[in-house]
Amino acid sequence: MNKKLRKAVIAGNWKMNKTPVETAELIGNIKPLVKNADCDVVVCVPYVNLQTAIQCTEGTNIKVGAENCHWAESGAFTGEISPQMLTSIGVEYVIIGHSERRQYFGETDETVSMRVNAALKAGLQVILCVGESLEQREKNITFEIVSMQTKIALQNVSEEDLKNVIIAYEPVWAIGTGKTATAKQANEVNSFIRELIADLYNTKAANAFVIQYGGSMNAENAAELLDQEDIDGGLIGGASLKAPDFAKIVEAASR
C-alpha cells in the first residue's frame, strides 16, 4: 500500500563514459523507448555532456543529472563544479556520495553531507548513495554502516528539504561486478533505511521517501528487485549505457 504512494525513479549513472556526440546518439535511442514511462527517468552524465543531454531531452520525460558537485558556490577549487553552475544550465538531479567517489576520491561522510546541503540549497534533487563493502557485510555491520552514512549525510536536512532527496542503496560489492544483491537482501536494507527515515523524521516522510537499489541491476533482474515493497527504483550503471536494457528497466518500474 505504501509503495503506491511513491513514484519510482530510474536513474542512469553513465560514470566516465560517452562523448557529447555519443551522448546525443544514446539519448536519441532512449527517448522513444521510454516516452510512455510511468516512473521518473533520469540520466546522470559526465559534466561535459550535460548541455548536450539537456538539449536532447528538451520536451521529453527524461531529466538530466550530474554525477557529483562541490559544496561551495564558487571559489578556488580547481577542477570542481558548483551546484549553482549545474542549475544555471538546467540540470535537475545530482548523484552524491557514490561509492566510487568515496573509494577513489577521498569522499567522506562529512563532505557528502556538505555536498548534499549545498545541492539542496541550489534547488537540485539529490540522489544520495549509501552502502556497505563486502568486508563490512561479512562482518555483519551493514545496518550500522548504512545508518551512519545516512545520519551524517542528512544531519542538517530539514523535513521540507528531504522531499528533494532520494537514497540509492548500493552495496559496494554489487557495483559493476555483475553480483546483484538478492531481492530479499536489497529489500531488507531498503526497509531498514525507511525505518531510519521514520525515526529521524516521521512516518509520513518515510512513506513518501523514494529509496532506490543500485548494483548490477539489469534488464533481466530489474522486475524482481523493483517488485519489492521498499525498492522504489534503481540507480543503474552499466545497463544504462544500452538503450534497450535501460528501457526494459524503466518498463519494469512502470508496472
Question: In the complex, what is the shortest distance from the CB of residue 4 to ligand PEP, in angstroms, rounded to a whole number?
Answer: 25
For ligand PEP, which stretch binds (CB under 6 A), given 72-80, 120-128, 143-151, 212-220? 212-220
Q: Does 83 engage in binding with ligand PEP (CB under 6 A)? A: no
Question: In the complex, what is the shortest distance from the CB of residue 153 to ligand PEP, in angstroms, rounded to a whole number?
Answer: 16
Q: Verify whether residue 70 is a known catalytic residue.
A: no
Euclidean distance between CA atoms 205 and 49, whole angstroms? 34
Question: Residue 216 in contact with residue 178, Cβ under 8 Å?
Answer: yes
Question: Residue 94 in contact with residue 124, Cβ under 8 Å?
Answer: yes
Secondary structure E strands in 73-224: 93-96, 125-130, 165-169, 211-214
Q: Verify whether residue 170 is a known catalytic residue.
A: yes
> Rule CB under 6 A: which of 10-39 touch ligand PEP?
13, 15
**x/- map, 143-162, ligand PEP, by CB under 6 A:** --------------------
Q: Does 65 engage in binding with ligand PEP (CB under 6 A)? A: no
Place of cell 536532447: 56
> Rule CB under 6 A: which of 214-233 touch ligand PEP?
214-217
Burial of 198 (0-12, 13-18, 19+ CB in 10 A): middle
Euclidean distance between CA atoms 80 and 170, whole angstroms? 24
| Contact residues for ligand PEP, defined by CB under 6 A | 13, 15, 170, 175-176, 214-217, 235-239
